[in-house]
Structure 1
Amino acid sequence: MNLAFVGAEVVPWTKIGGLGDVLGGLPPAMAANGHRVMTVYPCYDQYKDAWDTNIMNEIKVGDKIGTVRFFHNYKRGVDRAFVDHPIFLEKV
C-alpha cells in the first residue's frame, strides 16, 4: 500500500505534543511492514539531514503568490518531504 502522512510536527525534527510522536513512529512502523510511506511536513528550520531537491512551485496564500521549496530525507524506510515557505517562520 502507498501511504502519505501530512502533519505539522514530526519527531525527531519537531515536537510540540503527541502528534509529533505519532508521526515520528507510525510511518516507520508501516514501512517496516512493507508499505511505501511518505510524510510531508513544514520546514521550520534548516535540517542538516534533509537535502534541497531544487524543486520550487508557486502557490497562492491568501491574496499573495509565494514560492515553496522542497527538501527531502530518507530515514527508517520513509521518504520525508519538508515544505519550505516563509509563512512557517512568520510567528517565530
Structure 2
Amino acid sequence: MGTTSPQPPHVPAGTVLELSKEDWRYGGFTLFLRVESVRDDLSSYYDDEWVWVSGQQLARDGTPLGQLDALVRVSALPGAEDPAALGEQFD
C-alpha cells in the first residue's frame, strides 16, 4: 500500500486571508492576501506545516499592493485541521 502525503485544505481563488506575522514566514507584519493559488504539496522541509500561497497582497483598505508568494502556516488556512490530527491520519 502506498503512503499518502497530507494535503493542504482547499482555499478557493479570491479568498482573502488575514495572516498574523506568526502565520507566514519572512514578513514580520499582518498580511492581507487575496489567494490566486495554493500549492498542492506541503513542504517536508517545513515539517508538512507550511505551504506556498500565491496571491495579491492587499492594503487594509483592499488596495492591491502587488503579487506575493507567501509561505503560510497550514493551520492558519480556512478549513485546516488540527496539525496533530493530520499527522495521525497519515501515520
Structure holding more helix per residue = 1
After TM superposition, the score normalised by the length of structure 2 is 0.30
Structure holding more strand per residue = 1
